Structure 1
Amino acid sequence: MDVSVVIPTCNRPELATRAVHSALSQTHRDLEVIVVIDGPDDDTVLALKEIGDERLRVLVLPERGKAPNARNQGVKAAEGRYVALLDDDDEWMPAKIETQLALAARATKASPIVATRMINRTPRADSVMPRRLPGPGEPLSEYLTVRRGLFYGDGFIQTSTIMAPTELLRRVPFTVGLRRQQELDWTLRALQHEDVELLYAPEALVLWHQDENRDRISLHNPWEEQLAWLRSSRDLFTPRAYAAVTMSVISSMAAPTRDPKVFRELLSEARAPGRPGALDYVTFLQIWALPPNVRHRVRDLVVGRKNADA
């Protein structure tokens, strides 16, 4: 078997079945789909039984452990050479796996991480991410974190775009307990190994649904937890990337507190081990000045217009 698709889910049978159908509809047919149900969930089990495809397997965990643990359990059960990750609220374009396998076959290292571009769909606009692919010799921690615009970054990686050798995902499991930046954390840790490289398919082959009428991990704001993670992971980032994460990602989580002490703490963190650029300072100030809903609307307007002009 070429590919095992791993889909973690819990209490979202409609979304899970949509994700499964997009995986089973791939042009590359030699795959299995492993849905890892994160704790008892009879409704999802029943919904998946109705699909009736022998390539589908369902693994029900005895208790909830959240998405990183569910992915790790799915990887342990995988029988394919590669694992392709798919969040239950996302969808794949039909040629995604075929395209990624072709790219993996041309890899220069034994353990390629193969990602793709994606369509970021919000209630207001569609945009393609990442906006550009990594440049030759560009530090990947900077590519994935440093912004070139006030409301968006150029580099990006998201869980549902990732395909990697099963052996690599077992060697480098997802960090259990980390609520945000799970794919960034995993990618940068995996890239510490000499046999690993990051490749991108230039096509947008994933549909990332950013629905705002339901709970999503990306709507949670555990800024203190994320700052502790960043500090413990400092060796994964260049000083420039470290400052960018502090002043954009973590500041976006912390800004709703409107706490001057938090403002000063993050500014100091970015400047001490980090090395901010001019745009990082401007980004930092607009994040703290504008309410989140205003920033999101302006971002979608700016990014949507830039994509239309591209």
Structure 2
Amino acid sequence: MPHITVVIPVFNASPLIGAALRSVFGQTYRDFEVIVIDDGSDDETELVAALHEWAGRIVYIRQPNAGPARARNVGITRASGQLIAFLDADDEWLPEKLEKQVAYFDHHPETGLLHTGLIGDGLQASSLGGPPRPAFCDLFHTRFFVNTLTVMIPAAVLQEVGDFDERREIHIEDWDLWLRIAARHPFGYLPEPLAFHRPGGYMSRQIDRTYASQLLVMEKNHSLCGEACTAHRLSPAQCDRERRYVLHRDWGYDRLQTGNRRGAREQFRLALGYSPTDPRAAVLYAATFARPHWLSFVRQLSSTRPLTASAPPPAATQTPDHGRQRISLVHDTIYRRLRRRAISRLHDIDDGIFALRQGRKRILFDAASPMSLAVFRPLYERVRRDSRLEFWFTALGKVWTPQQVFEWTGVRENVISSSTASRMKVHLYINTDFWDMTWLPRRARRMHLFHGVAGKYGLDAPVDLAPTIATFDALLFANADRRRRYIEACLVPDDRIKAALVGYPKVDCLVDGSLDTSQIRHRLGLAARCPTVIYAPTWSPSSSLNGPGEEIVDRLAAEGLQVIVKLHDRSYDRGQRGSGGVDWATRLAKYDSHPRVRVVREADSSPFLAVADAMVSDHSSIAFEYMLLDRPLVVIDRPELLTAAAISPDKIRRLRSAADVTVTAAATARAIVQGLSNPRCRSAERQQVARELFYRPGTAADRAVALLYHLLELPAPVQAQAGLSTDAIETVAAAG
């Protein structure tokens, strides 16, 4: 029997559930079960597909839509753990959350509810931590906030006080349950942030419904207040007045923030009825009569909003502005505001000095591997001769030095270390990787080029990388599908610059006729009349390369075919994560003298795709790119790879819908021979997938170049304008 039950309600959150589950199964404490309750989602098909990789590891329950309270109660009813933890589909845990909470309960078994800090949440009134203590009074008066995704409760306590109130009108059923627990048991708190909440999600904050629900919960628990609230015992009338004053003041403030001045005025009037002499409510009440441009002044009063937090909205709508009370000036809103202003002023001064000293616009490209430059190169070739621009290059990865990353293209000037780059002032920073990147403390515009479309490592909607993604001014999406997923996950706004639908410049050359296939064959020593197959596995100890890879090459060559072996550049990383510890450069050297096998080391795969008549891969972006050429494709089934690389089920389905799937080297060779004899087989499927994953191939670099000049606030030069597609110009023009 597991010690912990993790309850996860889901409603229309198929793009997000994978990240939530990865954070659960990545816990250092492993004695738990996971129950996922689908609350009548409209995207049931997509949700089931997203949960497929967790089959056998979770309990999945679907119910008609009845709200999160009902969903959590169903999970509690099915739970067999002694402790119950809650997580929503759009939230995540840090790896040590469960371990640290279990240790706390071991030391303090009397605890009725244990919650933790939240990333980005600052300190709360309960942030001293330590042993559990009575919390009803502070909780009822909203002097601190309990985030549902951080909560752990003994199952015995839930049996004692009851489950979540399932009435829809309650709406803030979590606060209601916490109050009932606090009336009988002490609360524990771990101040360390052990969870991450992604603001927004699938529900917007419903102000009136939330505050009306507070009134219902206050009335419902009025008798508990009399029993458990020390302020109530001292003066019941004063306790009630203070609580209602805070409620109406906060209600009015939130209405004012949304532009509902008349509704805000009514709430401030009610607040003044409970506390007529309070200057804050009076100023806010007067502001509802002011002209709109005066409201910017009122918004500056956010630091004088109640010293206590407003009562909690539902867990799914928690936003970073809730915990207003601070016990340290370092975390005070005024301090943070002044600090931001000071930093902004320093950046302004730095910008001004740099503008006087630097005549040209400086661009820094940050590579994670040699392939990164292959992604950026189509843009670079288009703009590198612009005398107004100055290019610098760096790389952060531990496998290659910056010189090794860039030397294959002949880029040798202005190549610097990551530490040097971090001290440099640039106008525009460009990269292709959210993980291995150089952080620049000085102000710069930031542009991201995605380095593939295969859907690995959660990159189709990496909510765990939300803080990193938020630092970019423009993300250049290769297709509408990934762009939609990022918008739905609230990682980017629906904006034509911040979330730019550009296409994939790297593959423009596959469809625009710019590659000289005769010259490429001549360089490789390939015969034009002999069919050529490219074997292009992904990088991973679980890839086909570490399984039947060499046998596949041998069998294809034995069929009389020419074979191009194109490994991912990370397969040459002799570390365990990249290659499984195999020195593939040495291992494949045996083919150097082979008459029909060519092992290529260049990072850019496009020239080799262009001369290949068929492809063998496992799961990689290069396989999707090859579909633009509409030629036979064989995919080797590697189930362990799909799990290890956290590949999107949707991308698995798309790739295999347009390919023959094999398991053994012998079957792979047979499938290639059959494909070459009937190259139109699965043509329609290949073309369909290519249309879905590559937006307007052949002109993607046009749109990327247009955005580059837009971010630099420069007009494109005449020669560049001549090559810009109409929609590239329109995109930037629409952005203003």
For the superposition of Structure 1 and Structure 2, which TM-score range results when normalised by the shorter chain? 0.7 to 0.9
Structure 2: where are the runs of 5+ without partners? 226-231, 233-238, 289-294, 304-320, 322-330, 340-736
Aligned-pair distance for 1:115? 0.9
The letter of the residue matching 1:230 is: M
Residues 137, 85 of structure 1: alpha-carbon distance in 2 compared, 3 angstrom cutoff: closer
The one-letter amino acid paired with 2:59 is R
Q: Indicate the percent of aligned positions where both proteins have the same amino acid.
A: 26
| Alignment partners' CA distance in 2, 1:284 and 1:35 | 44
Q: Does 1:258 align with 2:262?
A: yes
1:81–1:297 Cα change, 3 Å: farther
Q: Distance in 2 between matches of 1:25 and 1:307?
A: 36
Partner of 1:150: none
Match of 1:39 in 2: 40
Is contact 2:246-2:271 (8 Å) kept? no
* TM-superposed deviation, 1:287: 6.0
* 1:50 aligned counterpart, secondary structure: helix
- Given that 2:70 and 2:164 are in contact with CA atoms closer than 8 Å, whether structure 1 keeps it comes out as yes
Pairs within 5 Å for 1:115-154: 115-119=115-119, 126-130=120-124, 132-133=126-127, 140-144=135-139
- Mapped partners of 1:36, 1:137: distance in 2: 31
Give, in angstroms, the shift of residue 254 of structure 1: 5.2
1:256-301 superposed Cα distances (whole Å, 9 cap, x missing partner): 3623444433544xx3xxxx698xx455456654869x85995669
**Cα deviations by residue, 1:36-94 (Å, 9 ceiling, x for unpaired):** 11015232122111234x33111111x11111111111100111111101122111110
CA contact (8 A) 1:75 1:170 kept: no
Q: Residue 189 of structure 1 corresponds to which residue in structure 2? A: 180
**Does 1:24 find its partner at 2:25?**
yes
Deviation of 1:106 after TM superposition, in Å, equals 1.5
Q: 1:296, 1:89 → 2: CA distance?
A: 31
* 1:75 alignment partner, SS class: helix
Whole-Å Cα distance in 2 between the matches of residues 117 and 71 of structure 1? 22
Offset of residue 201 of structure 1: 1.2
Counterpart contact for 1:81–1:166, Cα < 8 Å? yes
Query: 1:109-165: CA deviations, max 9, x gaps?
Result: 2x531111112xxxxxx3325354369998624433657xxxxx6x22111111001
Q: Return 5+ residue gaps in structure 1 as ranges.
A: 120-125, 148-152
* Higher fraction of strand: 1
Q: Which structure 2 residues correspond to residues 22-171 of structure 1 after superposition, within 5 A?
A: 22-40=23-41, 41-52=44-55, 54-61=56-63, 63-107=64-108, 109=110, 112-119=112-119, 126-130=120-124, 132-133=126-127, 140-144=135-139, 155-171=144-160
| Residues 56/145 of structure 1: CA separation in 2 closer, same or farther (3 Å cut) | same
Provide closer, same or farther for how the CA distance between residues 90 and 252 of structure 1 changes in structure 2, counting only shifts above 3 A.
Answer: farther
Q: Contact 1:90–1:209 at 8 Å: present in 2 too?
A: yes
TM-score, normalization by structure 1: 0.76
Q: Which residue of 1 aligns with 2:215?
A: 227
2:146 maps to a residue whose letter is I
Larger radius of gyration: 2
Q: CA RMSD in A?
A: 3.6
Alignment equivalent of 2:163, drawn from 161, 168, 173: 173
- Alpha-carbon deviation of 1:167? 2.6
TM-score in terms of structure 2 length: 0.34
Q: What is the distance in 2 between the residues matched to 1:25 and 1:73?
A: 25
Could you say if the C-alpha distance between residues 138 and 78 of structure 1 is closer, same or farther in structure 2, counting changes exceeding 3 Å? closer
Q: Secondary structure at the match of 1:105?
A: helix
